[in-house]
Structure 1
Amino acid sequence: MKYLILFALFLSFALAQAQKGEYWVFFKDKKDVEFDPYTYFDSKAIERKLKANISLNHITDYPINENYKTAVLDLSESTTGETRWFNAIAVWAYPNQIEAISKLPFVKSTELIRSESHLAEKKINMKLSNDYKFMLKKQIEGMQGSKFKNAGFTGKGIRIAVFDGGFPKVDKHPAFEHLRENNRIIDTWDFVKEKPFVYDYSSHGTATLSCIAGITKGKQMGLANDAEFLLARTEKNTEPFSEEVNWMQAMEWADKKGADIISSSLGYTHHRYFINDMDGKTSLVTRAANMAAAKGMIVVNSMGNEGDIEWKYMGAPADADSILSIGGIDPFTDYHINFSSYGPTADKRLKPNVVGYGHAITASKTNITDSYGTSFSAPLIAGFVACAWQANPDKTNMQLMREIEKSGHLYPYYDYAHGYGMPQAGYFTKTNKKETPETLFNFEEKENVVSIVLNDNQQSYFSIGANKVYYHIRQSDGFILEYALVEPYQKEVVSISKDKLQGGNILAVFFNGYYAEFTR
């Protein structure tokens, strides 16, 4: 019996070793290749790069050496895609084949692709909630969207690439009639089937596109109704799991086709990575998101929906330092929605950058419904970004990202659930009042504690995030040690031990538009 068990273990090990897998094969160089940016890039891509002083002739855009590809394919089973940016091809191969490939003189390294991506969709209700009208208005006015519309900022001239699992009925749905009539859908590509048709498969993309540009019965569902669109199917099915290869290729396609903004609800978490890997440099998709930023685009990506499970934190590429990672808040409370993933990154950077509503009115295949997930907060913010960029065409992508953070309703307060809050259009249209806010609270020192005490004349009034006191304790380098929201049932809201404020630590508090800090 012992020998049978040992044989079974050996057999299972041998089978595992012989199992075919998908790998990235990275090359050392791009010798003997030619590249003409004026035939490769769309004119809008060239315009974006020139405006941002980005080279049109960068080695990352050069094609992969065909001889290198042929040699690798001769030793593997098949190929599933490639990336110019990282000079690599993706192949299916057995371990012995990969061993042979890795010995080729022009191969830099190989990496097993074990990735499972998921769209940041919590669930979708197939029936509208009773609060349909309230929610539809809230998802626009929470961002002060009417201020953009009244100022004429509707995303015109901005090109947005949307990555998703499919876009069924977008070619027929009344919510997108204005896009079709005005030829706003510039190009489409299915990276799963390798064909242009994307108007099938998962309806998730139909929902996310509606959060950027949809219109129902004359009412905005998203802010960028006049933007141009590139639609990319990158996910394989409605279960929504697929590999990173499609997403990587879609990023380069979007760059080539002239995208200004990428709206993505993709996330890689515990299926492949450890929390320590969420450091902005480990995941290939994270590095690709940063590469897109280096090429002048703004990537708007969901934080993910792991906030109410053991993982809790964002998934790649939301850990990228040069993108906008979007958390979710509840439209009925304006506070963190329970499933929205938390920051910070493993290297202690702030995430999310800002938040949007994680419960939204969206288009389905046949109708209008309400949907849950940071899948929907991200495209709502992508539409906001398009309008803000139209309003500030001379800003670079990184400059605009910083301004969007400053427009957050909590700014300069931040925490790892809300970031800087929800962006506000009035910041960009210059229509928000710049009155010095009334002092609503003070800090009172006692022997061992510092208390946050409301003033006698403070009055609650409606605003985004009103009626709760936000506070955090942070180190001098900005890393938050502790943060919370507190219901102010009495004048003395909360008391903080002075021990927590040693070593230059800072207590920061935000309440109803008023912000103050305390240091010892």
Structure 2
Amino acid sequence: MKKLGFLFSFLITFSLFSQQQEDAWFFLRDKPDSTLYISNPLLMLSQRAIDRRNNLQIEINGTDVPMHQAHIDNIKAAVGITVLGKSKWLNAVHIQGTKIIIDNYFLNSSFIKRVEFANKTFNNLGEKAVEKMVSNHQNKFNISQTDFNYGSTSDQIKMLKGNYLHAQGLTGAGQIIAVIDAGFPNVNTLEAFKRLRENNQILGGYDFVERSTNFYAGNNHGTNVLSTIGGYLENQFVGAAPDASFYLFRTENAPVEVPLEETLWVEAAERADSLGVDVINTSLGYSTFDNADYNYSYADMNGKTTFISRGAEIAGNKGILVVNSAGNSGNNSWKYITAPADAPSVITVGAVDKNKSIANFSSFGPTSDGRIKPEILALGVSAAVINHTNGAISLSNGTSFSSPIMAGLIACLNGNEGFLLKSSIHKKSKKQKKFNDHLKEAVYTSANTYSNPTDQYGYGIPDFEIALNKYIGSTASLQEASLERVKISPNPVTTIFKIEGFLGNRKGYKMQIFDVLGKQVLQKETLLNEVEISFLETGLYFLKISKENQYRTIKIIKN
């Protein structure tokens, strides 16, 4: 009888197991249409996305190619399998079904390379112990020439010397930021976003959770986050990049924590890339799920295990500056950063208070493979945000807000001379750093504890005045050495400056002056000794001296 009882129990358990719906990804073998798409990139990418790749010398390759629709249709037609999402970068389809059905379909489908289950004990890589953690997603969003009057945002902008960037006219104009979050209710009506709406700075968006074009829905977290970058109330509130343009993408379903949200995030990042976005901010992170069998361990925080981190790394390799919150787990049992903050290319941001002391909730690094995370910090204790219900200015805590503050200023810095310098270098050795690497290095090395990083403080709090000068200097060093001694005097300049330090014959050299948006405001076909610019408005400009493949760009501050 005991044996029969045991057998009966086993059969019940097996029956329940065989019926349980599991999340998994099918990774496909090929993209048969790759040659067609790569030879006709406008079929899959906007011109702005192509320009960004050209400027950063990033090749268009098979990861840009859409997935083969016949493969997807084949999977959709399978009985017992539901397609929930997909990623062209990873050539993967997110599905649900029982383990038995998924395994059988995989074994009988030659176009599928491998299957990965969200429950890692099912994967063929071998079972490993998974740390069982209590899901904490319910609290993931909360822990109890230009001269702006910053009002309530003064601390969060001036702590990072963002006001210096703004004073140089670097306010995010010409940059496109994608905010990937949990929803954006009332952004279409609140006074604090009126400036964005009237200036057509909200370029569009999408609700990936509901598969809807109504992205002004969902959880208010995204509204609060957006306000720290693009919100504006005259003399009361100024976002970190008030003149940037935005795409708003909802990928997070706030009431639940499920693996599908990782896939939706990657879908949104792919959409952002195809639209030519410069910066992504995401104040989200994943380590635990409603189904504890899907939980990640600290060992998984290595930048290459989780689906979302793999996608974030590809986004970085496409030339997007991805900025992510470190997480708010510093004072609980899971104290570490979460995915995708562990990805190598992601700029991970922790939180401090107004006295520059670390917030106790700010998550710890390093990554499980020993890399410094978070790299940098911004205000995340009593940060000023816009309340989504009444539009009032509120104070809120979390790395959810330190991240977008940082993302906005990084967009301002990225716009300083981006197109001008990046387009002027046609032959760059593979050994040279990418422009985004120069930018990140400039920001990191400007931080107050760069020489002595710690697991929670990282490199510390950046100084964007220092970072701007470092970035201009490091990118200028990529120009041809024959022009490296050229300088202008005086600088700052009021009416006339001299071009000094030029060695040799000036024949064949021309000169151009551009504003911060890359618009040409002066051109001379000969290289003059003196240049008169009294007609220019006060602000930041760039002098470009060129001859064939030789270029030199010099910053001009016009008083």
Band of TM-score, shorter chain? 0.7 to 0.9
Q: In 2 relative to 1, CA 32–44 (structure 1 residues): closer, same or farther, beyond 3 Å?
A: closer
- Per the alignment, residue 338 of structure 2 pairs with 315
Which residue number corresponds to residue 57 of structure 2?
A: 53
SS of equivalent to 2:8:
helix
Per the alignment, in what secondary structure is the counterpart of residue 90 of structure 1?
strand
| Matches of 2:151 and 2:7, distance apart in 1 | 65
1:373 to 365, 388, 398: 398
CA distance in 2, matches of 1:189, 1:74: 26
The separation in 1 between residues aligned to 2:360 and 2:417, in whole angstroms, is 34
Tell me the residue number matched to 1:506.
none
> SS of the counterpart of 1:169?
coil
Report if the CA contact (8 A) 1:121-1:375 is conserved.
Answer: no
Q: How much is the aligned-residue C-alpha RMSD, in angstroms?
A: 2.3
- 1:28-47: CA deviations, max 9, x gaps? 11124542311321222111
**Alignment partner, residue 64 of structure 1:** 67
- Does 2:449 align with 1:410? yes
TM-score, normalising length from structure 1? 0.77
Moved more, 97-106 or 390-399: 390-399
- Residue pair 1:165, 1:238 contacting (<8 A) in 2 also: no
Report the alpha carbon displacement of residue 266 of structure 1 after superposing the two structures with TM: 1.6
Deviation at 1:110, TM superposition (A): 0.9
Say if 1:306 and 1:340, in contact at 8 Å, map to a contact too.
yes
Residue among 393, 398, 407 paired with 1:382: 407
**Whole-angstrom distance in 1 between the partners of 2:218 and 2:312:** 25
Contact 1:175 1:363 in 2 (8 A): yes
Q: Distance in 2 between matches of 1:43 and 1:296?
A: 15
Q: Any gaps of 5 or more consecutive residues in structure 2?
A: 121-134, 145-149, 290-294, 423-434, 471-559
Which structure 1 residue ranges, 4+ long, deviate > 6 Å from structure 2? none
Structure 1 equivalent of residue 115 of structure 2: 110
The Cα of 1:120 is off from its aligned counterpart by 8.1
2:27 is equivalent to residue 43 of structure 1: no
Describe the SS at the equivalent of 1:351: coil
Match of 2:83 among 79, 86, 99: 79
State the Cα deviation string for residues 463-503 of structure 1 (Å, max 9, x = none). Answer: xxxxxxxxxxxxxxxxxxxxxxxxxxxxxxxxxxxxxxxxx
Q: 1:141-162: CA deviations, max 9, x gaps? A: 1111221111111011111000
In structure 2, C-alpha distance between the alignment counterparts of 1:122 and 1:210, rounded to whole Å: 15
Residue deviations 1:215-250, cap 9 Å, x none? Answer: 234344421000010100101135666621211100
Contact 1:117–1:240, Cα closer than 8 Å, also in 2: no
Q: What is the DSSP-based 3-state SS (H/G/I as helix, E as strand, rest coil) of the residue aligned with 1:355?
A: strand
Does the alignment pair 1:336 with 2:358?
A: yes
Kindly provide the CA deviation profile for residues 307-343 of structure 1, in whole angstroms up to 9, marking residues without a partner as x: 1111111111111111101111122x31110111101
The one-letter amino acid of 1:90's match is H
3-state SS in 1 of match to 2:415: helix
Residue 392 of structure 1: how far off its partner (Å)? 4.0
Distance in 2 (CA, whole Å) between partners of 1:120 and 1:212 is 23
Matches within 5 A, 1:491-510: none
Q: Closer, same or farther in 2 for the Cα pair 1:256/1:355, shift >3 Å? A: same
Q: Deviations over 1:64-102 (max 9, x none)?
A: 222222222222432111111111111222222211221
**Cα distance in 2 for residues equivalent to 1:122 and 1:199:** 18
Instruction: Please list the CA deviations of residues 388-421 of structure 1 after superposition, one character each: whole Å capped at 9, or x if unmatched.
Output: 1112413622221111111212233311111111
For 1:424 and 1:413, how far apart are their aligned partners in 2?
A: 16
Q: Which residue type is aligned with residue 408 of structure 1?
A: A
Structure 1 position 207, deviation (Å): 0.4
Is the 2:240–2:405 contact (alpha carbons within 8 Å) kept by the matching residues of 1? yes
Q: What SS class does the counterpart of residue 123 from structure 1 fall into? A: coil
CA distance in 1, matches of 2:399, 2:468: 26
Quote the offset at 1:118 in angstroms: 5.0
- Kindly state the Cα deviation for residue 175 of structure 1 after the two structures are TM-superposed: 1.1
Asked if 2 retains the 8 angstrom alpha-carbon contact of 1:81 and 1:91, the reply is yes
Matched, 1:245 2:263: yes
One-letter identity of the residue aligned with 1:256 = S
Counterpart contact for 2:151–2:237, Cα < 8 Å = no
What residue in structure 2 maps to residue 350 of structure 1?
372
Q: Deviations over 1:93-132 (max 9, x none)?
A: 222221122111111111123598959845267xxxxxxx
The one of 212, 228, 246 equivalent to 1:195 is: 212
Within 1, Cα distance between the matches of 2:185 and 2:142?
Answer: 18
Instruction: Tell whether the 8 Å contact from 1:120 to 1:373 is kept in structure 2 after alignment.
Output: no
TM-score where L is the length of structure 2: 0.71
Percent of aligned positions with the same letter in both sequences? 36
Residue 6 (structure 1) shift: 5.5
119 and 212 in structure 1: CA distance in 2 versus 1, 3 angstrom threshold: farther
CA distance in 1, matches of 2:362, 2:152: 18
Aligned to 1:205: 222
Q: Is the 8 A contact 1:147 1:429 kept in 2?
A: no
Paired residue type of 1:400? L
**C-alpha distance 275-226 of structure 1, shift in aligned 2 (>3 A):** same
Letter in 1 for 2:175: I
Which residue is 2:142 aligned to? 123
Give the match's secondary structure for 2:188.
coil
Residue 199 of structure 2 is matched in structure 1 by 182
For residues 42 and 165 of structure 1, the distance between their equivalents in structure 2, rounded to whole angstroms, comes to 26
Contact 2:151–2:238 at 8 Å: present in 1 too? no
Instruction: Using the TM superposition, give the Cα deviation of residue 191 of structure 1 relative to its aligned residue in structure 2, in angstroms.
Output: 0.3
In 1: Cα distance, 2:70 partner to 2:50 partner: 29
SS in 2 for 1:85: coil
d(CA) in 1 for partners of 2:374, 2:267: 25
Code of the aligned partner of 2:457: H
Between the aligned partners of 1:25 and 1:191, the Cα distance in structure 2 is: 20
Amino acid at match of 2:380: G
Number of the residue aligned with 2:180: 163
CA gap of 1:369–1:8, structure 2 versus 1, over 3 A, is farther
Kept in 2, the 8 Å contact 1:118–1:266? The answer is no
1:12/1:141 CA distance change after superposition, 3 Å: same
2:44 touches 2:64 (CA, 8 Å); kept in 1? Answer: no
Change in Cα spacing, 1:20 to 1:159, as seen in structure 2 (3 Å) is same
* Match status 1:16 vs 2:17: yes
Per-residue deviation, residues 262-315 of structure 1 (Å, max 9, x unmatched): 100121124421111111211121111110111001100111111111111111
- Kindly indicate whether residue 422 of structure 2 is the aligned counterpart of residue 422 of structure 1: no
Separation in 2, partners of 1:122, 1:71 = 38
1:27 aligns with 2:52: no
Q: CA deviation at 1:430?
A: 4.5
Q: In structure 2, what is the Cα distance between the partners aligned to 1:219 and 1:369?
A: 12
Contact kept? 2:44, 2:65, Cα under 8 Å:
no
One-letter code of the match for 1:99?
D
CA distance in 2, matches of 1:231, 1:108: 33
> Aligned partners of 1:376, 1:157: CA distance in 2, in Å?
23
